[in-house]
Amino acid sequence: MPRRTATMLASLLMLIALLCAGVLIPVPYSEMSPGPTVNTLGEHGGEPVLQISGRTTYPTSGHLNMTTVRVTGSQYRMNLVEAVYGWLAHDNLVVPHTTLYPEDKSPDELNQETAEEFTQSQESAKVAALRQLDIPVGTRVIVSSVVKGSPAEGALHAGDVIKAVDGTAVKEHGDVAKLVTRHKAGEKVTFLIVPAKEAAAAEKEKRQPRTEDKVTLVTAKAPEDGRAIVGIQAGRDHTFPFTINIKLADVGGPSAGLMFALGIVDKLTPEDLTGGKFVAGTGTIDDTGKVGPIGGVQMKTVGARSKGARYFLTPKDNCAAAAKDAPSGLTLVKVDTIKDALQSLEKIRKGDAAGLPQCSAH
């Protein structure tokens, strides 16, 4: 065989071997890309995203879209070719696998965590929206969880409302631990509670609870420091004067909070917040209406623009990253609170784009 032919054949075989290796060899990376975007004012899966009953609602127009990021699954292992393609792709981001899936958490634990964050974001969105509208929101202390094998197991249950401990009224969830730790391990502590089922029924029927129970427990000793414990995690829950349901499946995490809150405000006020404009956005929200940063903002802006958004409500702390590579035709509007967002929406519907607080890369 001529030397030139042999060299070409060897090079070809080496190239084939490299390509095969690139396809077959897994690399410790995952990929993030623009995900679906859903109008909180519209429908998803054949039913309204925001469902409000027991209160007058008003027609809406335009879009207030929440945005998402699509990620490769926890069990999926990218190969070298996919990773290189992802690195080169303009709209995708390749990150270490452990960034999305920490080694100290199982896939089930991560799914549970993101589901809980999503549920909490809905709760905070409702609270922030109603408080913005000066609609009273009730607050109560509840049993968030019960530790298996603890004194509270079987006696207290998640969702029980804690009214008092040893006759002292409980106003904040931190009060529970303070009152329990006044005791020494082995002493008795008495809880006054409204059982979870009765609390839920009373809220649904818009009435006061009919029953309260006293539950006496013997405290145990915390293994780390010996303080008295009963084995519960106390938390805060809210009661609303009417029903608000948020229906959106297959979404996790807290980043839709701002857009849910704005959608609720839009439906509860005669003023059309968007004026028919296509507005998208992202951001966590707390009970006070404070907007927090999220991950994957650049992919969310790409996903929003691809669906037709012209304005993107961007958390203040995400502004610099979002502005570095903003899609053409998309105005990035800086927001820090729900009040900021509502003021910017007023400018948008009036056509005052020049007056908007826009994101800067600096």
- H or E element, residue 342: helix 338-349
Handedness of CA 227, 228, 230, 236 (dihedral sign): negative
Place of tokens 């070719």: 81
> SS3 letters for 132-160?
HCCCCCEEEEEEEEECCCCCCECCECCCC
- Interacting residues of 195 by C-beta distance below 8 A, sequence separation 6+: 157, 160, 211, 213
Tell me the backbone φ, ψ of residue 294, rounded to 5 degrees.
-135, 175
Cα end-to-end distance, the chain, whole Å: 63
Place of tokens 């106390």: 234
pLDDT of residue 75: 67
pLDDT at 224 > cutoff 60: yes
Vertex 125: Cα angle to 44 and 134 (nearest 5):
125
The encoded tokens of residue 3 equal 């030397």
Task: Measure the CA–CA gap between 40 and 174, rounded to whole angstroms.
Answer: 34
Q: Average of pLDDT values for 237-244?
A: 92
Handedness of CA 52, 56, 62, 64 (dihedral sign): negative
pLDDT at 257 > cutoff 90: yes
pLDDT higher at 312 or 90: 312
Task: Note the pLDDT tens digit of each residue in 136-182.
Answer: 999 999 999 999 999 999 999 999 999 999 999 999 999 999 999 99
Q: What is the mean pLDDT of the chain?
A: 88
pLDDT band at 27 (very low <50, low <70, confident <90, very high): low
Burial degree of 346 (CB within 10 A; 0-12, 13-18, 19+):
middle
Q: Average of pLDDT values for 83-105?
A: 67
pLDDT of residue 177: 96
pLDDT higher at 362 or 61: 61
pLDDT band at 321 (very low <50, low <70, confident <90, very high): very high
As a residue count, the chain comes to 362
Burial degree of 120 (CB within 10 A; 0-12, 13-18, 19+):
middle
* Kind of pairing between the strands at 278-281 and 311-315: parallel
Task: Measure the CA–CA gap between 84 and 67, rounded to whole angstroms.
Answer: 26
pLDDT higher at 89 or 9: 89
pLDDT of residue 112: 80
pTM for this prediction: 0.81
Q: Output 16-23 pairs: Cβ under 8 A, ≥24 positions apart.
A: 19/81, 21/80, 22/79, 22/80, 22/81, 22/84, 23/79, 23/80, 23/81
The lowest-confidence range among 2-6, 112-116, 347-351 is 2-6
- Interacting residues of 97 by C-beta distance below 8 A, sequence separation 6+: 28, 29, 30, 77
Q: Average of pLDDT values for 130-135?
A: 97
pLDDT of residue 97: 66
pLDDT of residue 119: 87
What share of the chain has pLDDT > 70, as a percent? Answer: 86
